[in-house]
């Protein structure tokens, strides 16, 4: 399985910044998980290949690029872009984003080929196929309804938490799964524990407590969704944990996993 975190901000020289304002993972070059920077950061080839988008939750940093992604391709789409989300997330998208005031209601519009966008609702806790990928949705603990996912293809399985605070059902779902990688959020530094608890996010100390519930010692752990303003302090506190398997997931880099071995390509 291949996964790339799309960039969402830039350095002085125009190159991708490691600061992650928006969340969008591209899997096997054609399925997006979340759509934060989807329209802005895909290549032309990726834009034409992506027709399935799986959403963890409806916070802006996870959906900001979705309306623009449909808009960019409105007249060219020969099939609808499929949005896989829970009914709670779909309700927010229709009411607060695709409401004719913020943006057109694309689910009601067609081009010369037919529909341009359609919803594929899933029930929390259920499994569904997206092409060659099997998604198992798992409840996590965020301020709004949010899904984590265990994602598998023929070559490997990985888990992505989405935004979350401390959780239990997620850990029982991933136990004994022989994951190649766990992608888990860590938004705030320890000094903002109160804010993290209020907004249902993790700090490095909270993350360390969560990882005691994760029984797979071989699985690599990648940190995602670090708030950009606190990136340095979060990374320093993660290093202080002295857990060598923890590293931050780099933007713009393609990671590749198979059951036999772990490898990375740029
Ligand atoms: Zn969120």
pLDDT at 259: 74
Q: What is the pLDDT of residue 132?
A: 96
- 242 alpha carbon – ligand 1 mean position (Å): 27
Measured at the alpha carbon of residue 5, what is the angle toward residues 34 and 142, in degrees to the nearest 5? 45
Extract the runs of DSSP E, i.e. beta strands, from 6-106: 25-27, 31-33, 52-54, 81-85
pLDDT class of 14 with cuts at 50, 70, 90: confident
Rounded distance from Cα 199 to ligand 1 centre (Å) = 8
Whether the model pTM is above 0.75: yes
Residues 157-184 pLDDT 10s: 999 999 999 999 999 999 888 999 999 9
Distance 259 CA to ligand 1 centre (A): 31
Q: Where are the alpha helices (DSSP H) in 114-229?
A: 169-174, 193-199, 204-211
From ligand 1's centre to the CA of 58, what distance in Å?
A: 7
Q: What pLDDT is stored for residue 264 in this prediction?
A: 52
CA-angle at 185, arms to 180 and 188, nearest 5°: 150
List pLDDT tens digits, range 207-236.
999 999 998 888 999 999 999 999 999 999
Which are the contacts of 141, defined by CB distance < 8 A and separation ≥ 6?
Answer: 164, 165, 166, 167, 200
- CA 225 to ligand 1 center in whole angstroms: 9
Q: What is the whole-number distance in angstroms between the Cα of residue 118 and the centre of ligand 1?
A: 23
Look at residue 15 in the predicted model and tell me its pLDDT: 87
Nearest to 42 by CA among 78, 13, 68: 68
């Amino acid at each position: 399985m291949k996964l790339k975190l799309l960039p969402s901000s830039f350095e002085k020289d125009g190159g991708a910044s490691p600061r992650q304002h928006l969340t969008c993972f591209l899997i096997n070059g054609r399925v997006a998980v979340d759509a934060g920077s989807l329209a802005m950061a895909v290549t032309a080839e990726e834009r034409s290949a992506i027709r399935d988008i799986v959403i963890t939750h409806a916070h802006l940093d996870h959906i900001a690029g979705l309306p623009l992604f449909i808009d960019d391709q409105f007249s060219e789409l020969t099939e609808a872009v499929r949005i896989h989300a829970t009914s709670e997330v779909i309700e927010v998208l229709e009411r607060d984003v695709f409401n004719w005031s913020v943006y057109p209601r694309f689910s009601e519009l067609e081009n010369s080929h037919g529909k341009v966008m359609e919803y594929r609702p899933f029930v929390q806790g259920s499994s569904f196929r997206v092409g060659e990928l099997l998604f198992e949705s798992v409840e996590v603990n965020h301020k709004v309804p949010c899904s984590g996912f265990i994602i598998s293809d023929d070559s490997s399985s990985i888990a992505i938490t989405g935004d979350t605070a401390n959780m239990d059902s997620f850990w029982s779902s991933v136990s004994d799964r022989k994951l190649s990688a766990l992608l888990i959020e860590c938004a705030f530094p320890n000094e903002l524990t109160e804010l993290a608890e209020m907004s249902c996010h993790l700090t490095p100390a909270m993350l360390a407590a969560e990882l005691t519930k994760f029984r797979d010692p071989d699985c690599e752990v990648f940190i995602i969704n670090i708030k950009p303003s606190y990136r340095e302090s979060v990374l320093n506190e993660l290093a202080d944990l002295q857990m060598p398997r923890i590293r931050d997931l780099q933007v713009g880099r393609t990671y590749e996993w198979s059951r036999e071995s772990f490898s990375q390509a740029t």
